[in-house]
Amino acid sequence: MNEERLAIIPRRSAFAIGIAVAFGGCPLAGFAQATDAPVQLAPVQVVGETIDDGYHVSNTSTATRTDTPLVDVPQSITVVTRRQVLDQSAQNIADVVRYVPGVVMAQGEGNRETPVFRGNASTSDFFVNGMRDDVQYYRDLYNIERIEVLKGPNAMIFGRGGVGGVINRVTRQANWDEVREMSLQVGSFANRRATVDLGTGFNENISGRITALLEDSGSYRDGVSLQRDGINPTLSLRTGKNTLVTLGYEYFRDERVADRGIASQNGKPFPTDESTFFGNPKLSPTDTELNTTTVGIEHRFTPNLTLRNRTLYGSYDKFYQNVFASGAVSATGTVPIQAYFAATDRQNLFNQTDLIYKLSTGIFQHTLLAGAEFGRQRTANLRLTGQFADGPDADANPDTTFIASASDPNISEPLVGWVVGANDGNNSSVTKIAAVYAQDQIRITEQFEAVVGVRFDQFNVDFTNRRTDVAPENREINTKDSLVSPRVGLIYKPLEVASLYASYSLSYLPRSGEQLASLSPTNKAFDPEEYKNYEVGAKWDLRPDLSVTIAVYQLDRSNVILPPINAGDASTLGDGARTQGIELGVSGNITKAWSMAGGYAYQDSKLTATTGATARDGSRTANVPYNTFSLWNRYDFTPSWGAGVGVFTRSSMYTTTSNAVKLEGYTRVDGAIFYTLTPKIRAQLNVENLLGEDYFVNAHTDNNILPGAPANVRVSLIAGF
């Protein structure tokens, strides 16, 4: 471990270099066809599969890998368009899913995104253009065309994981459109951000595009800051009348302070100002740097037969160090503070091949999908516990805990060393994946359709534990799982624009990569989690650009990982959990001037077995409220002026399965004003937490609770040229 990385990590930037070489010598990345429909290859202009009409999208391939109307997908899916992201001035994935029914966010220890899909917290169910993006970090939206959130297990399409749902980011690609756009943003708490989007067709056979980001912002939290830069050039090549090749590269860097919020006292958050930092922000850096290269090839043999192949190679380097509250505030007003660092190095290599064939057999019409996926992931993890200069009990717990006053918990005590703690890890693993899958979308009659598919995964993990205090049988562990994941859906369409559906799916989550970061696992810990999803629902396109949906589901889990109760603890294994829920969604345009997106979700997520004092049968799972409601509206009064209002409300929820600490419900109101100065220049003002609500967003343990931001303002100027 480089000693320089144990202190604050110096800021590094490849932004300027990336701009200079983007179209010169760099490999180029970002293969959009992973989720976009087959392209019309003969004309000059590329036609994607989806139509972005404000907040509405009619088709997607996320759920089926084929161009399918959303009304014909027998599963709940929400698509957040680029326009909605811009109108809400969404800064991250957490902002986006606030208006997605059935998904909430956990804290993720202040160094990663952790969505909770139908009661299941995940740090790995992320995809970009249909390719796996399962490293723990904060993703930016600078290069996003839309975000697709599929809810419920879906291993038939995405393989391992995807057990509660997935988030698939579709990036902007070279598509022969002339694009010249720059945006500048400033706001409260020293928010400063700039993005650029440039695209052109060099000739009828070559098109290029580049998106880039630079941000340097502060926070409402004491000592917390954020620096990000990224660049994503893409190139599209017509190598024949029916062949399209896409190349892309992305460099992205995110440096911030790992913020784990405040501690609890007597079953609720400790009463303090929302800016109070428990620990030491100067000794809590987190740094993520990624380089990904993608290559995609799509060839259309006939109008009914298409072959698509895509490859992704990604190199990810992540380090974080945090000084945080490791327990509750005592009756005497003190709080324990601990520290650790964790470093992860990951290389991902994936290749996917899809063959799509449309045909008729008698009265039946089929869209057949056959495919294969191969992958290799190499991961190295290291975590150590910090020692303070002045520990409270040098004999029993030598300097690994510092006792601070809860009235002044932002400490300056230095770290003087690192030791191997009980929950620390030093390991490496190589994961190999080989999978084949097949699916048939059958149009039986004008009113009945079916989706039937199955996937077979061969999943091998070679795990090496370098800790010397573990049993010999747990130092070298080799596992091999053969997993069969079916999915069946039946669709009834009383109208062409409306459907009723029922579906069943089975998914597995073997242990690998990020799940082994700080554990010393046994063979039992490698047994895959199993997820069964039963779902019925209805979808109705009230008009071509307005849709409403409803889904009722039951998700059963077994051999599940339960998050830690106290900060610094390891995760544990639970025997089972069940989530039952209802989701209502709406997206699109009420009128030409009025756009709307949001929904309601009811979730009853509980453990179904007792595996310890803090994981009892009937306990509610962490960060899952019974009720959430969100609705964003934009109304354009004139061609120049518009306004937006968003409302988000949730009921109370528990921070962990101990159900000992509760976060009360709240309602937050956001607002926006939009002004179009010229066809190429527009401005907007976004106000978050317009009414100044005091609330708590989420938690990681019973003693890492994130307060919500006070009222704050962001002003954006977007210019085309």
Tabulate helix, strand, coil % of the chain (nearest 5): 5, 60, 35
N residues, the chain: 721
Per residue in 488-508, pLDDT (tens digit) is 999 999 999 999 999 999 888
Q: What angle do CA 491, 493, 499 make, to 5 degrees?
A: 70
Contact (Cβ atoms closer than 8 angstroms) between residue 209 and residue 234: yes
Rounded Cα distance, 418 and 416, in Å: 7
| pLDDT tops 80 at residue 623 | yes
Out of 115-129, 440-454, 562-576, pick the least confident: 562-576
pLDDT at residue 6, as a whole number: 40
Burial (0-12, 13-18, 19+ Cβ within 10 Å), 46: buried
| pLDDT tops 50 at residue 18 | no
Q: What's the Cα-to-Cα distance from 161 to each of 75, 165, 332, 515, rounded to whole Å? A: 17, 8, 44, 12
Hey, is 166 helix, strand or coil?
A: strand
Contact (Cβ atoms closer than 8 angstroms) between residue 544 and residue 409: no
Out of 32-46, 572-586, 671-685, pick the least confident: 32-46
Q: Among residues of the chain, what percentage have pLDDT more than 90? A: 73
Rounded Cα distance, 282 and 279, in Å: 9
Rounded to the nearest 5°, which phi and psi values hold at 474?
Answer: -105, 5
| pLDDT tops 80 at residue 3 | no
pLDDT at residue 134, as a whole number: 87
Instruction: Indicate the Cα dihedral angle 469, 471, 474, 476, nearest 10°.
Output: 80
pLDDT at residue 155, as a whole number: 80
| pLDDT tops 50 at residue 1 | no
Domains of the chain plus CATH, in order, are 3-720 (2.40.170.20)
Residues paired with residue 704 on neighbouring β-strands, in sequence order: 701
Give the HSE-up count for residue 565: Cα atoms under 13 Å, Cβ half-sphere: 14
How many C-beta atoms lie closer than 10 Å to residue 487's C-beta? Answer: 27
Write the DSSP symbol of residue 275.
T
Rounded Cα distance, 64 and 82, in Å: 22
Per residue in 406-433, pLDDT (tens digit) is 999 999 999 999 999 888 889 999 999 9
Rounded to the nearest 5°, which phi and psi values hold at 472?
Answer: -55, -35
Element spanning 83, H or E: helix 82-87
Instruction: pLDDT band for 512, please (50, 70, 90 cuts).
Output: low
- What mean pLDDT, rounded, does the chain reach? 87
Contact (Cβ atoms closer than 8 angstroms) between residue 46 and residue 175: yes
| pLDDT tops 80 at residue 53 | no
Q: Rounded to two decimals, what is the model's pTM?
A: 0.89
Handedness of CA 29, 33, 35, 36 (dihedral sign): positive
Per residue in 339-362, pLDDT (tens digit) is 999 999 999 999 999 999 999 998
Per residue in 632-643, pLDDT (tens digit) is 999 999 999 999
Residues paired with residue 419 on neighbouring β-strands, in sequence order: 385
Residues paired with residue 403 on neighbouring β-strands, in sequence order: 336
pLDDT at residue 571, as a whole number: 63
Please give the sequence-ordered ranges of beta strands (E in DSSP) within 152-242, or none if there are none. 165-171, 179-187, 191-203, 206-217, 226-240
Hey, is 466 helix, strand or coil?
A: coil
How many C-beta atoms lie closer than 10 Å to residue 254's C-beta? Answer: 21
Residues paired with residue 552 on neighbouring β-strands, in sequence order: 536, 582
Q: Which residues of 438-475 are buried (b: 16+ CB within 10 A; e: fewer)?
A: ebebbbeeeeebbbebbbebebbbebebeeeeeeeeee
Q: Which two tokens stand for residue 203?
A: 């000739």
Of the candidates 245, 244, 173, 247, which has an alpha carbon nearest to the alpha carbon of residue 211? Answer: 173
Per residue in 152-187, pLDDT (tens digit) is 878 888 877 667 889 999 999 999 999 999 999 999
Q: Which residue has 């518009």 as its token pair?
A: 642
Instruction: pLDDT band for 21, please (50, 70, 90 cuts).
Output: very low
Once rounded to an integer, what is the mean pLDDT over residues 511-519? Answer: 53
Rounded to the nearest 5°, which phi and psi values hold at 316?
Answer: -130, 130
Q: Residue type at 707? A: P
Once rounded to an integer, what is the mean pLDDT over residues 316-325? Answer: 95
pLDDT at residue 471, as a whole number: 79
Please give the sequence-ordered ranges of beta strands (E in DSSP) within 70-156, or none if there are none. 77-81, 103-106, 114-117, 120-121, 126-128, 131-132, 144-151
Q: Residue type at 339? A: A
Of the candidates 183, 213, 184, 209, which has an alpha carbon nearest to the alpha carbon of residue 16? Answer: 213
